[in-house]
């Protein structure tokens, strides 16, 4: 698969990518556990079919010490025993926040209650921001057909997706 367009090969795309990356730093530096951030990003990317983002978040999670078993089971997290209740709440929020068009009520009250149970306000702000940002990153990657397979951990040292 060949990419359609390189967003950062022009002034507008490069400026946007820099600002997008800076916004992601706020999330990365929050108290939301890094493993949760990677699991949420991976799940949304799987749903949206963004090969580059699946590649990036799988490799970054692996580099940060995430187990292969947990990464392989993200797509089937509901049928798995390897995720904590807090991670399950975050994954449910990621799915419901990603599939807004599929759910007439968006994020359910049950999911929101589980998120409130396991995360403090700062972590919730980071989690909600992360779901929004990874969905935006997925859309950028899918629209321009940015393929997976070439990402190397640390490639974006400034934190951009």
Average pLDDT of the chain, as a whole number: 94
**Residue 87, domain member (yes or no):** yes
* Domain extent for 91: 32-143
Check whether 23 has a pLDDT greater than 90.
yes
**CA nearest to 136, candidates 17, 36, 1:** 17
* Residue 27 CB partners (closer than 8 Å, separation 6+): 37, 126, 129, 130, 133
Report residue 159's pLDDT band, with 50, 70 and 90 as the boundaries: very low
**Average pLDDT of 40-53?**
98
110 within domain boundaries = yes
Number of compact structural domains in the chain: 1
Q: What is the CATH number of the domain that holds 65?
A: 1.20.1290.10
Backbone angles phi, psi at 135, to 5 degrees: -65, -40
Asked if residue 8 belongs to a domain, the reply is no
In a domain, 73, yes or no: yes
**Within a domain: 113:** yes
92-125 pLDDT, tens per residue?
Answer: 999 999 999 887 789 999 999 999 999 999 999 9
Closest C-alpha to 107, from 121, 127, 122, 123: 127
Question: Residue 53 domain-assigned?
Answer: yes
pLDDT exceeds 90 at position 48: yes
Q: Is residue 2 part of a domain?
A: no
Q: What is the reported pLDDT for 157?
A: 66
User: Which pLDDT does position 154 carry in this prediction?
Assistant: 80
């Amino acid at each position: 698969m060949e990419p359609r367009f390189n967003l950062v090969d022009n002034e507008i795309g490069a400026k946007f990518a820099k600002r997008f990356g800076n916004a992601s730093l706020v999330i990365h530096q929050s108290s939301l556990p890094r493993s949760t951030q990677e699991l949420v990003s991976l799940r949304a990317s799987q749903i949206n079919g963004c090969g580059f983002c699946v590649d990036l978040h799988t490799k970054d999670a692996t580099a940060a010490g995430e187990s292969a078993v947990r990464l392989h089971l993200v797509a089937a997290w509901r049928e798995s025993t390897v995720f904590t209740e807090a991670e399950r709440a975050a994954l449910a929020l990621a799915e419901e926040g990603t599939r807004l068009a599929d759910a007439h009520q968006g994020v359910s009250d049950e999911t929101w209650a589980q998120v409130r149970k396991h995360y403090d306000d700062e972590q919730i702000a980071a989690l909600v921001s992360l779901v929004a940002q990874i969905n935006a990153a997925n859309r950028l990657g899918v629209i321009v057909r940015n393929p997976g397979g070439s990402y190397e951990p640390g490639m974006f040292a400034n934190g951009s997706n």
